[in-house]
Amino acid sequence: MDSVKSYIQSHRQAFEADLANLLRIPSVSADSRQRAETRRAAEWVVKQFEQIGLATRCVPDAELETETATLAATIVAGSWFSHREHKRALLRTDGVPLAAGLADEQYRVRKVGPDFAERAGSRFDDAERRPPAG
């Protein structure tokens, strides 16, 4: 935890400058004429997230509920094995640079969980398309 506090303190000026840049965009408004500025603020946040390695996606307001439900269904459809392995990877790589975390995941995580055949069903009946066993 001390390393997190130290990192925050050493980067505080940059964080404050970034926040000031975001706050300069007049994005909080019920006025539909400000929609472009609201979108610009969302795109600014997306850019910041992408720079630190987060997956992002901006969708129009009308599609938000559908896209959120689709994402939630995709996450829920993951196996217990995948969820457990993702949690372990997060705990193992907390505080390391993104490249090191990805290298750890590639090295340690089994490619196919024990419940893969059950979840995949007949989609991999063709041996040429079947992923390698764990």
- Residue 40 to residue 64: CA distance in whole angstroms: 17
Sequence spans of domains, the chain: 2-76, 78-124
- Residue 131 to residue 101: CA distance in whole angstroms: 23
- pLDDT value for 128: 46
- Residue 41 to residue 29: CA distance in whole angstroms: 12
**pLDDT tens over the chain, length 134 residues:** 677 888 888 989 998 999 999 999 988 877 788 888 888 998 898 888 888 877 777 788 899 899 889 888 887 787 777 778 778 888 888 888 877 777 777 777 656 666 666 665 555 554 444 445 54
- Residue 79 to residue 15: CA distance in whole angstroms: 37
- Residue 114 to residue 134: CA distance in whole angstroms: 8
- pLDDT value for 16: 92
Q: pTM for this structure?
A: 0.45
79-112: burial string, b at 16+ Cβ within 10 Å, e else: eebbeebeeebeeebeeeeeeebeeebeeeeeee
- pLDDT value for 10: 92
- pLDDT value for 97: 83
- pLDDT value for 120: 59
